Structures are given as structure tokens and as C-alpha cells.
Structure 1
């Protein structure tokens, strides 16, 4: 399905309207140009700046006012991710009869030991602690033949450390070490992006790193410090949007239109999300992770955290849609400069309808794929769809998907209309600025040039 011009930071020729004024003496025949689009008129530069400068200033003020200065400390609970861990390595594996071993060692987190199989061959792993104050110390881990985590000789593992437990029970294996394959995959991803996108690919990777920095250094710590999750998400998402779009696509009118379209859509998503999360009485506290967060930081507004997740989760796809639509309008104008506002809008919205169909389907399938184990459990339980949809765990995903999809669909006509207005108004303004006769509208979006 045609999704229109690619919104990625690629290395295609830059056809966006530069915000810099046109060099003196450099004039274009705006009715027949085939090169890069001309810079925007002085009037439009002022209009765009009047909107974006206050917005960027407000985002900067929000970052300064809400900056957390680091996540608050707390006493470890020893549950889940909130426990002390060290690196380890399996140095020896012995196969023994399961009937000859005890019921398994007591886990370091204090939970009940897993049941021991009555028959079969168990693995008796000798594990060496590879980091921390007890580096070099070894302990024994018994692995049942039907355990989900199977160990092998020489394998790197993550071990939980319970310093208050008896010495023989202080360490236990909780997971395998996956850092190398994940780092290798990240390196391959970076190479592919740079090889295809070249300089634009490099800028996309830098923007990605900045986005993660805003998320980990500002959004997450600020929420933990007790700031309003919705306000933090709006400020953080706006900062990510400004940095990523302008870094990838440059300070141009086309990028500015995409920013405005994304901003309007994010505001719509925030309003709808706030309305329906409250109306549906969604608490945001539905699983072990959110329960642990609420237990450690009871002052966090969990429903606000849910809304913040909706906004941040929608931002990436919104960028894709708005950049695509502005690029479509610019390229249509370049191919046929005689098209007026209506003509540009009608042509670009046809591309947008294809984009809507594919993006909405992508969003729904992404959420369904993430919740596949949960949906499988409901299927095993043979619950009817009404009961499943009414449960808060599923209702959260439904509201998240539908609110985000409404924002995506709305971003297409909004961004397309903004881009068509900017392109058409800019052409008239440039003609007057350059001393050329202004084109005259002849109806149905077409224009003709008056004789000088």
C-alpha cells in the first residue's frame, strides 16, 4: 500500500523551504521551477516564528521548572527489578538425578523454592560471581529439566544478591546475560541506518540518543519526584519532537509545518485521553510492575501515568504521518506549481488516506502483538469478548489504541491543510518580494500569471 514519501531522515535532495532569506539577486521563475523549492517569504517566516518561538520557549521553561535532578532514592525491596544483582558465569555443569538433590535451593529473594521433579536429570551448575564485593565466590544452582531457564557451561548470567540471607542462600541465578547479542544487534541497526541514510541516518541516530536522554534524564525521574505525569509527558514529548524533527529534517518551513501538525494532534490526544481515562475509571494500576511502582511511590498519579504513556507512545507515529504529509504537499507543489490550496489539499489527502489505513492497522497490530500472551490467556479461559474488553487490563489497551488512532487520523487533514496554505501563500508572497507579477486565481485552485 502506498504510504507516500518516506518520512525517515534519508539523503534525498532537500526540497523544503528554507527559513533563511533568499540571497540578493537570486530569483526564480516560480511558475516553472524544477529545482529545490524557494525560501519562504518574509511574511511567512514571521508567522511561523510567532507560533514556534513561544512554543519552544514554553518547552524550555517547562524543562527548567520540572527538571528533577535525578531519581529519588529508596530502600530496596528485593522484589523483581528492585533487588541487588551482580554478574556471574557458569563454570561447571554436572548432570545428576533429580531424586538425589534437595527440593532446590531457596531463592535469594526469599520466595518459595520451585518443586523438584521426581525423575529425570537435573543440572547442578557451579556459578562464579564476576562482579561486586564477592567477586570470585562460587555457589551451586540446581536447574530442573523443565525449568524455563536452562544453563550451559561458560554462559554469562545475572545473579540476585540477598546480603541478609544465610551465606549459602545469598546468591541465586535470575537470568542470563544478553548484553553481547543485544549490543551486536544495536550495532547492526546503526550500520544499516547510516549505510542507507548516510548523513541523514547519522542525524537520526543522534536524535534517537537525545530522545532516550530526555526520557531517562527528565521524564522518568520527574514523574518519580512527584511532578504531574501529564505535564511532564507533554513537556518531554514536545522537547523530543522539536529536537528530533529539526535535527533530522533541518530548520525549514516544511519541518515547521510538521511540528505544528504534530503539536495539534498531541493536544487532541491529551484531551481525549484525559476524558476517556477518567470516564472509563481506568486506574493505571493493573499488573505487578505498576503495583510495585505504586507501592514504592504512593504519591504518583497512576491514571496520569497511563495518559502520559499514551502521549509518548503516539508521538513516534505522529512524526511519521506529519512529515509524510508535508513532504507530499511540497513535492506536489514542486511537480505542479499551478496547483492552489484546494488542488494541493485534494491531491495530498489521497496520499494521506492510504497512510491512515496502513498506520492505524500498524498501531492496532503493535498493541495486539505486545498483549498476545494476555489475549491467549483470555482465549484459554473461554471468556466472551464483552467480558474481556471490560476488564481494566484490556480496556487500557483499547483506550490507548483508539485515542492514539484518532489523533493519527486527525493529523492527516490538519497537517495537509497547514502545508497547502503555507505553500500557496508563500508562492504569492515570493512573487511580490522578488518583483515578479503575482499569480492571479482563475478558479478551481488554478492560477495564471498576469503580464508585467
Structure 2
């Protein structure tokens, strides 16, 4: 590896880091109104040491329990606390001696501790899964795996410190989503491939594809009187908007735009890479012939990526689909049911973006690689 290659790799590590630090510093300047309940309780990790009362019948999601637990984190670490446990579907846990839990604890006027079981402590499982993911990525992907991991870290940083703060400050969801998508796209492709011709073509094609999906979702959503106020978490968003500049109406379109970014990026990069390879093997091919080859490659990708998007949205709507099936909801009612129409809008607009990205990316890449230097 020569010095130029070493410098290129170093820049692909340092420049995204500098950009991410700048984004983080900017997000720290956003002032947030405190809307959380004004209570003195704390969430802590604990381990159940004794079952004091048990009305669960030995079954999860049944009856209630009172347990003694030893706190393993926070300012009360090492202390014992008595906890009530609802053992319900959404909150609580089926406790046995040794069960690791997360508890909501507060200190009484006399200094005694009391509280309730919030849920199982799943942090160990999450850390183990993350370690397995990183190990698999690095062992199988090698140097490319490290680059992919760094790109994922940057992506998460952009979502947490750019996308969410922009929405919180009241930036239109389409603009916030577009800015975040372009930032993630440009830097991720730079980390993976450097500032190459393939990277530049992929950035342009993906940006156009994502903007088509987001713009189409906004256009059709407006025509169908559908926006963020119809989402399942609209009440929480309205409450947050009362203390911030959040534009609830455009959150729906921002989510659609971000959710289709990965699929559109995959299509763009694959078509660009395929055309680069074809051009290298057959440098005499004309623009028309390259376009035809790119479209042939893209036809197969359309089917798989369309299925990927539709199945992803279907997976998130499984509960809704079961509700429709069980209650035998009439077709007219179903087509006016907000949750279903939102999933249809999201899935089809994202898929249309993928489909149109194929000819767009093919034309861009074929033009660039066939033009005279």
C-alpha cells in the first residue's frame, strides 16, 4: 500500500469523524423544554432476591407479585428495595429469584426505598447481539467490514444528532429528511468507496430517487388528507409540539423518505458498480448499449428490492393486519383506516422511488463513464 492509498484511508476515517463531531456540537445547542413528569423516581437495574407475595399462579402475564430486589446500578447500588410487580403485558415481569429487572425506585421522606418493577433488564442481551453483529461484520467483511461499521456509526449519529433535532426545531419534515439522507448517503459512500466516480454517480442517483419518494408521498398524502396527525403516535407528537417547534404534519413524509434511503442506495450503488465493470470489460460499448445493459441489471433488482420494502412495511403492520382479519373489517372501512393507508402510502411511494432510480441511475452512470475526459 503506497502513501497515497494510506492517506486516502486516513481521510475516510478522519473527515467523517470531524463532520460527525460538528453535527453533535450543533445539536447540543438545541434547547429543549422539559416536558417529562416532575417526579423524583429513578430507573435502576436490580436483581430479584426474594418473592414476598405471589398471585401470578406461576404464569407470566397473570396476577401480581411483591418482590425484594438488590439494586445493581445508580446512587442506591447495593441497597435492598421492596417492589410491586404488575406482571402485565406491557409493564412488569414474571419474577423469580435471580431475575434481572429494571425497577422504578424513589426515596421516601424517611429515606426508605420503594418502587415497582418496570420490565426485564435486557441490556445484556442487546450488548451480546451488538457484539455478535460487530464480530460477524469484521470477520466476514474484513477491511470493508470495518468501513461498513464506521458508516453505520455515522448514520446513527446523523439520525440522533441531526435528523431528530431538526424535526424538533420545526424544520419541514421533507427538508429535514432530505438533508439527513444526503448527508448519510454522501459520507457513507465516501467511507466505503472513497471520492471516486462511482461514489459521485451513486450520490446523485440516490438523492434523486429518495426525493422522488418523499415528494410523491407528500403530494399523494396531501391529496388524500393524510399526514403526521393520522399516525399511531400522533398524540405524543402533538404534546411534544406544544413545547417545541415540531411540525407534526410533515413527520409522516420525513419517515417515508428516510425509510426508503437504504433500498434506493442499494439499487444505485449496484447499478453503478455493474456498469463500471461492464465498461472495464468492454470499453468500446456505446452509451445506448450501456444504458440497455444497466436496465437489464436493474430489472432483476426491481423485483427483489420492491419485495424488500413491501415486506418490511408489512412486518411493522402485522398487528394491524391481524386486527382487520379478526374483525372482518369491510373493504370500504379498511381503505379509510389510517394505519393501513399510511402503510400503503409508505410502501408504494418507497417502491416507486426504487423503480425510478433504476433508469435515472443508469442514465447518469452511463453518461459519465462514456463521456470523453
What does residue 85 of structure 1 align with? 43
**C-alpha contact 2:310 2:347 (8 A) present in aligned 1:** yes
Q: How does 1:345-356 map to 2 (within 5 A)?
A: 345-356=291-302
What does residue 217 of structure 1 align with? 161
For 2:360 and 2:109, the matched residues in 1 are separated by 61
C-alpha offsets along residues 301-323 of structure 1, whole Å, 9 cap, x if unaligned? 22211111111111111110000
- Compute the displacement of 1:139 (Å): 1.0
For 1:197 and 1:251, the matched residues in 2 are separated by 21
For 2:23 and 2:56, the matched residues in 1 are separated by 58
**C-alpha contact 1:68 1:222 (8 A) present in aligned 2:** no
**C-alpha contact 1:238 1:263 (8 A) present in aligned 2:** yes
Matched, 1:69 2:34: no
**C-alpha contact 2:93 2:117 (8 A) present in aligned 1:** no
**C-alpha contact 2:228 2:249 (8 A) present in aligned 1:** yes
- 3-state SS of 1:265 partner: helix
C-alpha offsets along residues 276-302 of structure 1, whole Å, 9 cap, x if unaligned? 121111232346633123113234222
What does residue 294 of structure 1 align with? 238
For 1:350 and 1:196, the matched residues in 2 are separated by 30
**C-alpha contact 1:223 1:232 (8 A) present in aligned 2:** yes
Q: How does 1:38-437 map to 2 (within 5 A)?
A: 69-70=29-30, 72-77=32-37, 84-93=42-51, 96=54, 123-135=65-77, 136-142=79-85, 149-161=93-105, 171-286=115-230, 289-298=233-242, 299-425=245-371, 428-429=372-373
TM-score with structure 2 setting the length: 0.83
- 3-state SS of 1:158 partner: strand
In 2 relative to 1, CA 302–197 (structure 1 residues): closer, same or farther, beyond 3 Å? same
- Compute the displacement of 1:86 (Å): 2.3
Worse-superposed segment, 350-359 or 127-136: 127-136
C-alpha offsets along residues 414-434 of structure 1, whole Å, 9 cap, x if unaligned? 101111111211xx43xxxxx
Q: How does 1:436-447 map to 2 (within 5 A)?
A: none
For 2:127 and 2:92, the matched residues in 1 are separated by 24
Q: Which of the two has greater helix per residue?
A: 2
For 2:232 and 2:73, the matched residues in 1 are separated by 29
**C-alpha contact 1:128 1:139 (8 A) present in aligned 2:** no
Q: Aligned pairs, how many?
A: 347
Worse-superposed segment, 401-410 or 287-296: 287-296
**C-alpha contact 2:103 2:117 (8 A) present in aligned 1:** yes
Q: Where do 5+ consecutive residues of structure 1 fail to align?
A: 1-17, 19-58, 100-114, 430-452
What does residue 30 of structure 1 align with? none
What does residue 21 of structure 1 align with? none
In 2 relative to 1, CA 374–161 (structure 1 residues): closer, same or farther, beyond 3 Å? farther
For 1:216 and 1:254, the matched residues in 2 are separated by 28
C-alpha offsets along residues 23-59 of structure 1, whole Å, 9 cap, x if unaligned? xxxxxxxxxxxxxxxxxxxxxxxxxxxxxxxxxxxx9
For 2:347 and 2:204, the matched residues in 1 are separated by 23
- Compute the displacement of 1:170 (Å): 5.1
For 1:414 and 1:144, the matched residues in 2 are separated by 54
- Compute the displacement of 1:332 (Å): 1.2
Higher RCO structure (Cα 8 Å, ≥6 apart) = 1
Q: Where do 5+ consecutive residues of structure 2 fail to align?
A: 6-18
C-alpha offsets along residues 336-385 of structure 1, whole Å, 9 cap, x if unaligned? 22211111111221110010001001100111011101111111111033
For 1:150 and 1:98, the matched residues in 2 are separated by 8
In 2 relative to 1, CA 348–97 (structure 1 residues): closer, same or farther, beyond 3 Å? closer
In 2 relative to 1, CA 144–190 (structure 1 residues): closer, same or farther, beyond 3 Å? closer
- Compute the displacement of 1:68 (Å): 6.3
